[in-house]
């Protein structure tokens, strides 16, 4: 686990891959985990609240907080899963279920602005991967991570919202454990575990928006969309 230190504050149109490639010596097979916030900022996914007009629904949900922030959250949501004003758990257009539809005010570039999730975090990861290959000549996997809460458990863990160059799910179906029992229900969300591991060395406040996992020995291709439970299998819609 290698924290990527010394990155400057990222602004729109910054070349995040170049910043990472300058900060750390990448090796083939590395998994580069990049916090969603820097990816979103580089992609200009920032909304100034002065440009937002709150609807009646947003005012209802605000419960004393800024209703314009709630309006942005509604705009990013395809479905409200639970609300306890001002807390909103929503499904994003990507299919992720998370607090505030991923809209976040912390680490925003200016006080009265909020940061949205990337339009297509898998495409963001693929672009970063391709640019890193161009700059360094080595093939790495890229995960775009964000901190999600969980049902029934306290605290957030970082999960993969975008992924390139890595199978996000390690499927052990049909393989057998040491006693011969068929592991028919064992599919491990390794991309989420990698994102969480990276968070441990990044820290929230230390300005370390990326980390490299070396030696995981991943293979294959896949997207973070595969981590979204299909509606027909989802017992918690």
- Please give the residue ranges that form the binding site for a second copy (CB under 8 A): 1, 9, 82, 84, 87, 89, 91, 96-97, 99, 105-111, 147, 150-159, 168-170, 172, 175-181, 183, 185-190, 192-194, 196-197, 199-200, 204-205, 207, 216, 226-230, 234-236
In the complex with a second copy, which residue's Cβ is closer, 78 or 188?
Answer: 188
Nearest distance, CB of residue 147 and a second copy, angstroms = 7
For β-strands 141-150 and 31-35, DSSP reports them as: parallel
- For 134-170, letters b (16+ CB in 10 Å) and e give eebeeebbbbbbbbbeeeeeeebbbbbbbbbbbbbbe
Nearest distance, CB of residue 1 and a second copy, angstroms = 7
Query: 77: closest CA among 94, 55, 59?
Result: 94
In the complex with a second copy, which residue's Cβ is closer, 111 or 137?
Answer: 111
Nearest distance, CB of residue 15 and a second copy, angstroms = 20
Nearest distance, CB of residue 41 and a second copy, angstroms = 11
Nearest distance, CB of residue 134 and a second copy, angstroms = 28
**31, 44, 99, 207, 228 from 12: Cα distances, Å:** 24, 5, 24, 17, 28
d(CA 93, CA 75): 10
Q: What's the start-to-end Cα distance of the chain, in Å?
A: 35
In the complex with a second copy, which residue's Cβ is closer, 25 or 188?
Answer: 188
In the complex with a second copy, which residue's Cβ is closer, 118 or 196?
Answer: 196
In the complex with a second copy, which residue's Cβ is closer, 131 or 225?
Answer: 225
Is residue 116 within 8 A of residue 102, CB to CB? The reply is yes
């Amino acid at each position: 686990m290698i924290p990527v230190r010394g990155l400057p504050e990222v602004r729109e149109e910054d070349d995040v891959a170049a910043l990472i490639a300058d900060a750390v010596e990448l090796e083939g097979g590395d998994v580069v985990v990049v916090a969603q916030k820097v990816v979103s900022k580089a992609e200009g996914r920032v909304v100034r609240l002065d440009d937002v007009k709150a609807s009646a629904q947003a005012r209802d949900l605000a419960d004393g907080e800024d209703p314009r922030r709630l309006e942005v959250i509604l705009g990013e949501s395809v479905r409200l899963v639970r609300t306890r004003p001002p807390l909103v758990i929503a499904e994003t257009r990507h299919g992720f279920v998370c607090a505030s539809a991923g809209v976040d005010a912390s680490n925003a570039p200016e006080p009265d602005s909020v940061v949205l999730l990337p339009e297509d975090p898998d495409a963001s990861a693929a672009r970063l991967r391709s640019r890193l290959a161009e700059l360094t000549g080595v093939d790495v996997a890229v995960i775009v991570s964000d901190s999600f809460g969980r049902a029934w458990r306290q605290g957030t863990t970082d999960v993969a919202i975008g992924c390139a160059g890595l199978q996000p799910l390690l499927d052990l179906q049909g393989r057998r454990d040491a006693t011969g029992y068929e592991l028919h229900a064992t599919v491990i969300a390794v991309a989420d575990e990698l994102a969480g591991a990276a968070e441990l060395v990044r820290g929230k406040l230390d300005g370390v928006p990326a980390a490299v996992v070396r030696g995981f020995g991943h293979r294959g291709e896949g997207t973070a969309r595969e981590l979204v439970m299909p509606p027909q299998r989802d017992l918690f819609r």
